[in-house]
Amino acid sequence: MVPIEDRKAGLQGVIVIHSTRLGPAGGGCRLWSYPTMAEATDDGMRLAAGMSYKNALAGLPLGGGKAVLRKPDGDFCRQALFEAFGLAVERLGGRYVTAEDVGTSVADMALVSRRTGHVAGLARRANRPGGDPSPHTARGVFLAMRCAVERRLGRSLGDVTVAVQGLGHVGYELCRLLHAEGARLIVAEPRSDVAARAAVEFGAEVAGTGSIVDAAADVFAPCAMGGVLDSRSVPRLKASVVCGAANNQLADPALGALLADRGVLYAPDYLVNAGGIINVAAEYLGWATAEVDERIAAIPARLAEVLDRAERTERPTGDVADEMAREVLSGAPVTALQ
């Protein structure tokens, strides 16, 4: 864990490197209004661990890391903040590779790139991976959801109702894909104008942010912040499938057993939302666009493998995914990093 601070630039946060066993620690930079640094650090620790597991299951030559920055109160200079952050990344000498996450953008990463080369999510060049990774994340979740729905309900996405919590870049794109497939949508989003746009564009029903978990839906897709599934919300859940883009959806890993006991198929979040980091890895490592498409297309097969093992061993899917990720990590040779 590396605390970072530049008061003049408005920078305060932490870079967490969880593992470099498979390669440099890859994970995005989150800018959020954390009330305290302790809360920012706790979030960074959880997110970085998730990135280690995500990258391992996705077969990427990357370890796990995350940067979480406290959003300054009031107006601030994004250029100063992200250039200062870029210097912090550069000081790590390639041990950490950053990209977009919640609250950050392609433009922000361009500012970071002024101070370090250990950054992806930059403007896309012709026929090369790059740009906003959100559509790739949404695509992976969509494909995984199709697999989970067929597995649990024996139906197609065009025959189900999906409750999507959060209409950020990923959530909105997921709605676009689901709408094109014929799914009925229920959405929740604190920005009323965005929710209204989804209602018009996708014919979506709009629910309250606090009541979306109660929606009469076949699938619940958390696409906002983590921890939405806790001891109070899980008993209220009406959906038979949980498959979404948010990280750390379970407030406590033990809740995976409660979901399983209730007959809910939980698609492990870091497995299904790996499309974005796949695109980031391809950009940073110089892979072709076709490689991105092939790796994202393989997400449902990895999910099916997790579901098969979970059925055989009668264990929660999240526990099985963790086990499989640890198998990858423990079997890998230690990567030498400068």
Positions marked catalytic: 66
Kindly tell me the sign of the dihedral angle through the C-alpha atoms of 18, 21, 24, 28: negative
User: By three-state DSSP, how is residue 52 classified?
Assistant: helix
Q: Is residue 133 a contact partner of residue 271, using CB atoms and an 8 Å limit? A: no
Per the CB < 8 A criterion, the answer to whether 258 and 234 are in contact is: yes
Tokens read off for 62: 């990357």
DSSP H helical ranges for 113-202: 134-153, 169-181, 192-202
> Which residues are registered as beta bridge partners of 186?
163, 205
Angle, helices 134-153 vs 275-285, to 10°: value is: 140
**What is the token pair recorded at 121?**
């999510």
Strand partners, 100: 29
Nearest to 229 by CA among 185, 275, 273, 260: 260
Positive or negative, the Cα torsion across 312, 274, 118, 124? positive
SS3 16: strand
